[in-house]
């Protein structure tokens, strides 16, 4: 029954949803790994609970509005996929379901407004920078913002770094060993362009020529996970065209972007560019994975250093990437990589989740920051701009100035001797 309804009425992604809901055997292995189930203790806010609810909607037994609050509370961290013995593609199911019922929501007016603002600004760097600066210039007036907009006000950075436009081509230093194309993302260009600059410097020092296509766009993950499949497909097609059909690797420095681009076959399902999207996705590689395959010049720090590595959900769970970033850090002489308590739990950023569900996001952010403090580390390493902003915010709330850096930034600073300067007593973490 479900198979027939899905394929006949839910379009090209119906088959994907049918396979996912029928593969789940409701064993419960996902429960301990789900952040919302851990915090709320409600079966309907667990992966298997949500799968059951989505199945009931797809079969016509429940109204989507009844299910919406529980679907909205899902972070999409796909930690459940890592724990699932049946291989349920929960992420594909969740995104496809949201795309099928984009207007089925019990959100308040201000929650919808927050989403709308994020949708119209974050994927467009110039708009995003303008919106953030307007918020900063408003100064004391932001305290008068309605309570429903407070989650946006709380996320305003104290300052923005100067914009940087990466060169279209950065030649390899010395003998060229490889050639890549770099997707620079959208939020990182505004919040921390140094991630891109650091990645380019590290890659070129390793003998890699880096191309940055000018026609590239947001990866589309923000809209895809919001249920706006049309806008996500538009971005996907723009990137497929911008990066061309060359066989060289496409590098991403953001876990969320890399994961989103790996989803292009599903985003473009049924579209005439579906095959091109699949080819594109096959070329996408995370910065840490690509660099880990190369032989780097010996690295070391001047004194023993403890670095805690935070697993971004869309690296560890969606892309199954855990070892390469840790191995890169362990190549640095004098560095000890520290593991965190409950590393599988999301930090609460999850794209726009800290805007959509600020209360839950705040609890997760505080938990992650405390785990970092308990680790006794001196630096936090990670591979995603959203995680960086979230973790830095909650560390500061706990009174900590521990630097929070992308793996590329750490490698870059070790290579040119700048890392130790950030670790002097009382030093405040600087992204740039």
Identify the domain boundary among 59, 74, 100.
Answer: 100
The verdict on residue 132 lying in a domain is: no
What residues have CB less than 8 Å from 208, skipping those under 6 apart? 172, 176, 177, 178, 179, 180, 294
Q: DSSP labels for 204-273?
A: HHTTEEEE--TT----SHHHHHHT-HHHHHHHHHHHHHHHTT--SEEEES-HHHHHHHHTHHHHTTTSTT
Least trusted range by pLDDT, from 139-153, 220-234, 238-252: 139-153
Measure CA of the first residue to CA of the last residue in the chain; give whole Å: 55
Return the closest-CA partner of residue 166 out of 214, 208, 122, 219.
214
Rounded to two decimals, the pTM is: 0.91
Report residue 9 CA to chain centroid gap: 31
Identify the domain boundary among 83, 100, 117.
Answer: 100
The verdict on residue 77 lying in a domain is: yes
Confidence of residue 391 (pLDDT cuts 50, 70, 90): very high
Give bridge partners of residue 332 from the DSSP assignment. Answer: 299
CATH of the domain at 77: 1.10.1060.10
Dig out the tokens for 166 from the structure.
Answer: 């990466």
Distance, in Å, from the CA atom of 169 to the CA atom of 178, rounded to the nearest integer, reads 13
The verdict on residue 318 lying in a domain is: yes
pLDDT more than 90, % of the chain: 69
Return the closest-CA partner of residue 200 out of 251, 241, 238.
251
pLDDT one-digit tens code per residue, 144-190 = 556 666 666 677 777 788 889 999 999 999 999 999 999 999 989 99
The verdict on residue 169 lying in a domain is: no
Q: Is a pLDDT exceeding 50 seen at residue 1?
A: no
pLDDT one-digit tens code per residue, 65-109 = 999 999 999 999 999 999 999 999 999 999 999 998 876 566 677
Distance, in Å, from the CA atom of 416 to the CA atom of 302, rounded to the nearest integer, reads 12
The verdict on residue 330 lying in a domain is: yes
Q: What is the DSSP letter of 383?
A: S
Q: Is a pLDDT exceeding 70 seen at residue 331?
A: yes
Q: What residue numbers bound the domain in which 369 lies? A: 297-423
pLDDT one-digit tens code per residue, 352-370 = 888 888 899 999 999 999 9
Exposure string over 228-252, b if 16+ CB within 10 A, otherwise e: bbebbbbbbbebbbebeeeeebbbb
Which residue has 């952040």 as its token pair? 35
The verdict on residue 181 lying in a domain is: no
Return the half-sphere exposure (C-beta side, CA atoms, 13 A cut-off) of residue 376: 3
Distance, in Å, from the CA atom of 229 to the CA atom of 268, rounded to the nearest integer, reads 9
The pLDDT of residue 157 is 75
Distance, in Å, from the CA atom of 279 to the CA atom of 275, rounded to the nearest integer, reads 6
Dig out the tokens for 72 from the structure.
Answer: 């909205």
CATH of the domain at 315: 1.20.1050.140
Whole-angstrom CA distances from 84 to 89, 180, 317 are: 9, 34, 11
pLDDT one-digit tens code per residue, 6-64 = 455 677 888 889 989 999 999 999 999 999 999 999 999 999 999 999 999 999 899 99
The pLDDT of residue 430 is 39
The verdict on residue 384 lying in a domain is: yes
pLDDT one-digit tens code per residue, 342-351 = 998 999 998 8
The verdict on residue 404 lying in a domain is: yes
Exposure string over 139-176, b if 16+ CB within 10 A, otherwise e: eeebeeeeeeeebbbebbbeebeeeeebeeebebeeee
CA angle 219, 382, 307 (to 5 degrees): 170
Dig out the tokens for 76 from the structure.
Answer: 């999409």
Identify the domain boundary among 51, 68, 100.
Answer: 100
- Count of structural domains, the chain: 2
Q: Do 235 and 223 contact (CB within 8 A), yes or no? A: yes
Q: Do 111 and 361 contact (CB within 8 A), yes or no? A: no
């Amino acid at each position: 029954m479900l198979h027939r309804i899905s394929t006949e009425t839910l379009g090209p992604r119906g088959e994907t949803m049918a396979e996912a809901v029928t593969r789940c055997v409701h064993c419960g292995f996902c429960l301990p790994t789900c952040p919302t189930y851990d915090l709320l203790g409600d079966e309907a806010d667990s992966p298997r609970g949500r799968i059951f609810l989505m199945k009931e909607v797809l079969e016509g037994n429940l109204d989507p509005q009844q299910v919406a609050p529980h679907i909205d509370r899902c972070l999409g961290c796909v930690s459940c996929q890592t724990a699932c013995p049946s291989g349920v593609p929960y992420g594909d199911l969740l995104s496809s379901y949201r795309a099928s019922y984009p207007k089925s929501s019990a959100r308040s007016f201000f929650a919808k407004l927050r989403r709308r603002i994020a949708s119209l600004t974050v994927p467009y760097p110039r708009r995003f920078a303008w919106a953030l600066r307007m918020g900063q210039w408003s100064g004391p007036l932001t305290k008068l913002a309605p309570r429903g907009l407070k989650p946006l006000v709380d996320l305003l950075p104290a300052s923005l770094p100067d914009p940087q436009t990466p060169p279209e081509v950065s030649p390899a230093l010395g003998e060229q060993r490889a050639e890549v194309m770099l997707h620079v993302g959208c939020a990182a260009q505004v919040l921390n362009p140094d991630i891109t600059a650091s990645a380019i410097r590290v890659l070129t020092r390793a003998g890699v020529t880096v191309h940055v296509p000018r026609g590239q766009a947001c990866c589309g993950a923000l809209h895809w996970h919001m249920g706006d499949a049309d806008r996500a497909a538009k971005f996907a097609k723009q990137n497929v065209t911008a990066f061309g059909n060359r066989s060289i690797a496409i590098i991403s420095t953001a876990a969320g972007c890399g994961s989103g681009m790996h989803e292009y076959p599903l985003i473009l399902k049924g579209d005439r560019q579906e095959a091109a999207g699949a080819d594109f996705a096959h070329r996408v590689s995370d910065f840490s994975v690509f660099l880990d395959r190369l032989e780097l010049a010996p690295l070391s720090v001047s004194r023993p250093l403890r670095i805690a590595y935070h697993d971004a959900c869309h690296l560890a769970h969606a892309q199954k990437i855990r070892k390469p970033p840790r191995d890169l850090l362990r190549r640095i002489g004098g560095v000890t990589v520290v593991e965190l308590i409950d590393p599988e739990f999301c930090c609460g950023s999850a794209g726009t989740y800290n805007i959509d569900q600020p209360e839950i996001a705040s609890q997760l952010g505080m938990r992650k920051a405390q785990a970092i403090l308990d680790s006794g580390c001196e630096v936090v390493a990670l591979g995603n701009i959203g995680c960086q902003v979230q973790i830095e915010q909650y560390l500061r709330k706990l009174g900590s100035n521990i630097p929070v850096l992308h793996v590329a930034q750490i490698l870059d600073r070790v290579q040119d001797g700048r890392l130790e300067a950030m670790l002097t007593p009382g030093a405040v973490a600087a992204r740039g």
